[in-house]
């Protein structure tokens, strides 16, 4: 009990509460602008977190990402343009409700079930993390190698793209992580004689490039989205309690699917929304209503993407393996703030962990009032022309990257990764897999090489420890799955 | 910049081969079989394999599904998701990264405010803003960013040609 009291004291600091409030407003604004994703909001927030206390920094990230995932639903509902990729799955459904004259209902569902989903995800984090931490204390480098590898494979398996291209992106990320002297022998690798490359490619500038600069590049080629006509909204929360009672099963299913996808390393909110929406359609009693402005799918997927957000912190906190691209950024901040991820975090820094849960709950509760204010202001917000927002984003990319190490090389890195991200995206290579490869590269290499040195070059110990064997089987299954599907499709194609 | 799978696949084959070769030439740790060479070689060979599969068109049908979904959303607001883009327009996309490189080159000489104003002005105009809006943005945004980052976050941005001591900027 005293730990909870301690945690409450940590959270009820003026700087932490202020960080939550300001980050929430920032997240709501960024998320509601089409083209600016939750990941981008978080990445641009990192330089600011340098100057906050550890708990305030984490609070800012949690609040901003949760709000951005919800507020991405606003332009989706009103304009049929998803504000963040996580809203894309059900944009058509929400817009259909607007066309039927029920935008309040659609937006109400988004804010209400997002908050409930977020709280469900937090509960899962509270329940799942401690026992897993207990187990993880016995892990050796073999288990960590398989875990990291499995995480990378999950990221490629769930990408909405060709699995081969996803694996290629992931390997490209691992190759980029090889750059520098951070390797088992301290030999400069792939530095091309540049001193700036000795320290390797920093993940944050790479992330900013891939997620923010490439978005501005895309804006250069696409026409400006239409403006939103001003409209007055009726009561936003009206009828939500009835909907909560009516659609219990879709809600629970959405939360559970979101939690599972969040826990899987590499798969995040956008994946959770796509899976939940199609699942809702499959299990619904009235699937013919989907696409015509039916609340069921909206409830399930809206809850799911917010639930995945909190459970994405489970692998991040326990193993340092990001659950999605947002926690990938958060891991960097955790290290910087001395809260190094690992199972001991839950024993040694228990108060900080409880504080994290409390922040999640607070963020999801204030999402409701702040979200309603945001919905009412949305028509003003969405009036801002793109030509006024994107220049500021470019400027923030430059200054933010510079601030990560007071080093201009980081700005060049941002530019380079903007181009890499843009070209990859255009050609169907998922950039999230690349980013995870970059972030996890040193961990994968370290656990692989340490394990190989321990075993004197033999690969037998990778399979002989019980947990390692299970993880190995899962990883190999994940690796072979696309091959099996491909073979089956090929066979079917021959028969047809 | 939409290239065929054959082109990107073969590029990956070449990249992976170079990485594996360069990796295998790294000096080993004395008295140790496993050194800094293992990982790049493994990853490089993996990239070669994936590149070859991509060039051969394996896994193409997965993308068709995702693209159909995206096209549906894009079509909703009259935008071609993957339409052919002319080279002149493709060059437009290179403006943001080019401006970032320009920032790297100029910021220490000109100082933050002029460089940032240049970047904002160029981005805004190339997105089709009217000159008035772009000019106001170019004046205002760098100043606010400068104040926040220098005063609140203590990031040492160079003041260069335009020191503003009355605002507390060095």
- Same-domain pairing of B72 and B114: no
pLDDT tens, position by position, A456-492:
878 888 888 888 888 888 888 877 876 777 777 777 7
Distance of CA B108 to the CA centre of its chain: 22
**Domain region containing A175:** 2-495
Beta carbons of A408 and B19 less than 8 Å apart: no
Total count of domains within chain B:
2
Cα-Cα-Cα-Cα dihedral sign, residues A73, A75, A80, A82: negative
Looking at chain B, how many residues does it have?
A: 170
pLDDT tens, position by position, A389-443:
889 989 988 988 888 778 899 999 999 999 999 999 888 888 888 888 888 888 8
Cα-Cα-Cα-Cα dihedral sign, residues A303, A305, A307, A309: negative
Looking at chain A, how many residues does it have?
A: 496
Cβ-based neighbours of A2, under 8 Å, separated by 6 or more: none
Beta carbons of B36 and A167 less than 8 Å apart: no
Distance between CA atoms of A475 and A129, rounded to whole angstroms?
Answer: 22
- What residues of chain A score a pLDDT lower than 70? 1, 157-160, 228-230, 266, 482, 493-496
Residues of A in contact with B53 (CB under 8 A): 164
Cα angle B88-B92-B96, degrees, rounded to a multiple of 5: 155
**Domain region containing B75:** 5-84
Over 60: is that where the pLDDT of B42 sits? yes
Place of tokens 């058509």: A92
Mind telling me how many Å the CA of A293 is from chain B's nearest CA?
A: 16
Residues of B in contact with A387 (CB under 8 A): 123-125, 127-129, 133-134
Over 70: is that where the pLDDT of B168 sits? no
Mind telling me how many Å the CA of A302 is from chain B's nearest CA?
A: 18
Beta carbons of A403 and B107 less than 8 Å apart: no
DSSP assignment string, B88-132: HHHHHHTHHHHHHHHHHHHHHHH-HHHHHHHHHHHHHHHTT--HH
Contact A147, A321 (CB under 8 A): yes
- Same-domain pairing of B25 and B95: no
- Same-domain pairing of B18 and B45: yes
Total beta-carbon pairs less than 8 A apart between chain A and chain B: 242
Distance between CA atoms of A352 and A408, rounded to whole angstroms?
Answer: 34
Residues of B in contact with A210 (CB under 8 A): none
Distance between CA atoms of A202 and B168, rounded to whole angstroms?
Answer: 31
Residues of A in contact with B69 (CB under 8 A): 88, 160
B83-142 residues touching A, CB cutoff 8 A: 85, 89-90, 92-101, 103-104, 107-108, 116, 119-121, 123-129, 133-134, 137-138, 141-142
Distance between CA atoms of B57 and B78, rounded to whole angstroms?
Answer: 30
Query: Rounded mean pLDDT of chain A?
Result: 85
pLDDT tens, position by position, A250-270:
888 999 999 988 887 767 788
Distance between CA atoms of A49 and B90, rounded to whole angstroms?
Answer: 35
What per-residue confidence (pLDDT) applies to B82?
47
Nearest CA in chain B to A89: B69
- Same-domain pairing of B110 and B54: no
Crossing angle (nearest 10°) for helices A91-99 and A103-136:
160
- Same-domain pairing of B71 and B97: no
- Same-domain pairing of B14 and B75: yes
pLDDT tens, position by position, B63-104:
666 666 666 655 554 444 445 556 777 788 899 999 999 999
Mind telling me how many Å the CA of B164 is from chain A's nearest CA?
A: 18
Residues of B in contact with A51 (CB under 8 A): 152-154
pLDDT tens, position by position, B91-148:
888 999 999 999 999 998 888 899 999 999 999 999 888 898 899 999 999 988 888 8
Residue A228, judged by CB atoms within 10 A of its CB (0-12, 13-18, 19+), counts as: middle
Nearest CA in chain A to B70: A88
pLDDT tens, position by position, A196-217:
888 888 888 888 888 889 888 9
Residues of B in contact with A402 (CB under 8 A): 155, 157
Nearest CA in chain B to A50: B153
Residues of B in contact with A213 (CB under 8 A): 96-97, 100
Mind telling me how many Å the CA of A270 is from chain B's nearest CA?
A: 13
Total count of domains within chain A:
1
Contact B7, B51 (CB under 8 A): no
Task: Flag whether the pTM goes above 0.90.
Answer: no
What per-residue confidence (pLDDT) applies to A43?
86
How many CA atoms lie within 13 Å of A350's alpha carbon, on the beta-carbon side?
A: 10
Distance of CA B136 to the CA centre of its chain: 27
Q: State percent of chain A over pLDDT 70.
A: 97
What per-residue confidence (pLDDT) applies to B80?
45
Please choose, from the candidates A338, A345, A484, the residue with its C-alpha nearest in 3D space to the C-alpha of residue A492: A484
Helix H or strand E encompassing B69: helix B60-76
What per-residue confidence (pLDDT) applies to B166?
61
Please choose, from the candidates A270, A255, A363, A266, the residue with its C-alpha nearest in 3D space to the C-alpha of residue A73: A270
**Residue A380's beta-bridge partner residues?**
none
Mind telling me how many Å the CA of B169 is from chain A's nearest CA?
A: 16
Distance between CA atoms of A411 and A401, rounded to whole angstroms?
Answer: 6
Distance between CA atoms of A84 and A301, rounded to whole angstroms?
Answer: 14
- Same-domain pairing of B74 and B115: no
């Amino acid at each position: 009990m005293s730990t909870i009291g301690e945690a409450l004291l940590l959270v009820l600091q003026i700087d932490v509460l202020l960080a939550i409030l300001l980050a929430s407003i920032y997240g709501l604004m960024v998320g509601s602008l089409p083209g600016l994703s939750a990941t981008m909001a978080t990445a641009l927030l990192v330089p600011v977190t340098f100057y906050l206390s550890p708990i305030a920094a984490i609070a800012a990230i949690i609040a901003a990402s949760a709000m951005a995932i919800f507020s991405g639903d606003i332009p989706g509902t009103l304009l049929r343009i998803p504000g963040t990729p996580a809203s894309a799955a059900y944009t058509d459904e929400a817009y259909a409700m607007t066309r039927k004259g029920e935008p309040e209902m659609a937006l109400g569902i988004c804010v209400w079930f997002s908050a409930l989903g977020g709280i469900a995800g937090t509960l899962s984090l509270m329940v799942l993390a401690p026992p897993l931490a207990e187990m993880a204390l016995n892990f050796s480098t073999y288990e960590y190698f398989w875990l990291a590898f499995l995480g990378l494979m999950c990221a490629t398996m769930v990408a909405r793209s060709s699995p081969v291209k996803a694996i290629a992106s992931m390997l490209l990320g691992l190759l980029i992580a090889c750059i520098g002297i951070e390797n088992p022998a301290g030999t400069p690798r792939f530095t091309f004689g540049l001193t700036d490359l000795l320290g390797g490619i920093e993940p944050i500038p790479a992330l900013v490039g891939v997620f923010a600069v490439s978005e501005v590049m895309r804006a250069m080629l696409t026409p400006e989205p239409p403006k939103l006509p001003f409209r007055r909204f009726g009561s936003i929360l009206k009828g939500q309690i009835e909907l909560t009672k009516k659609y219990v099963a879709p809600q629970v299913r959405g939360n559970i699917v979101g939690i599972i996808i969040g826990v899987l390393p590499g798969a995040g909110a956008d994946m959770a929304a796509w899976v939940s929406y199609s699942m809702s359609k499959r299990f619904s009693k009235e699937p013919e209503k989907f696409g015509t402005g039916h609340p069921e799918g909206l409830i399930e997927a809206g809850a799911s993407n917010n639930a995945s957000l909190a459970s994405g912190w489970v692998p991040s906190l326990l193993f340092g393996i990001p659950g999605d691209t947002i926690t990938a950024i958060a891991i960097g901040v955790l290290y910087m703030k001395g809260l190094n991820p690992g199972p001991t975090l839950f024993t040694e820094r228990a108060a900080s962990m409880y504080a994290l849960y409390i922040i999640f709950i607070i963020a999801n509760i204030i999402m409701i009032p702040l979200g309603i204010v945001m919905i009412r202001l949305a028509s003003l917000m969405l009036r801002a022309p793109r030509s006024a927002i994107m220049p500021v984003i470019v400027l923030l990319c430059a200054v933010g990257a510079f601030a990560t190490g007071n080093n201009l090389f980081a700005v060049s890195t941002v530019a380079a990764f903007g181009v890499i991200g843009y070209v990859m995206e255009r050609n169907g290579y998922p950039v999230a897999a690349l980013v995870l490869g970059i972030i996890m590269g040193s961990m994968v290499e370290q656990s692989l090489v340490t394990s190989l040195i321990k075993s004197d070059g033999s690969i037998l110990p990778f399979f002989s420890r019980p947990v390692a064997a299970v993880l190995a089987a899962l990883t190999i299954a994940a690796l072979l799955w696309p091959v099996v599907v491909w073979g089956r499709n090929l066979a079917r194609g021959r028969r047809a | 910049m939409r290239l065929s799978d054959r082109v990107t696949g073969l590029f990956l084959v070449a990249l992976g081969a170079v990485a594996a070769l360069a990796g295998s030439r790294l000096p080993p740790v004395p008295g140790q079989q496993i050194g800094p060479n293992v990982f790049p070689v493994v990853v490089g060979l993996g990239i070669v394999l994936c590149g070859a599969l991509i060039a051969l068109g394996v896994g193409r049908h997965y993308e068709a599904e995702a693209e159909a979904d995206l096209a549906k959303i894009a079509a909703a607001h009259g935008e071609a998701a993957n339409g052919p883009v002319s080279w002149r327009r493709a060059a437009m996309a290179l403006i943001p990264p080019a401006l970032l490189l320009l920032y790297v080159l100029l910021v220490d000489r000109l100082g933050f405010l002029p460089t940032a104003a240049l970047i904002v002005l160029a981005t805004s105009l190339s997105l089709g803003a009217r000159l008035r809006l772009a000019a106001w943005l170019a004046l205002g945004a760098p100043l606010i960013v400068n104040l926040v980052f220098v005063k609140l976050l203590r990031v040492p941005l160079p003041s260069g040609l335009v020191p503003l001591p009355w605002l507390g900027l060095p």
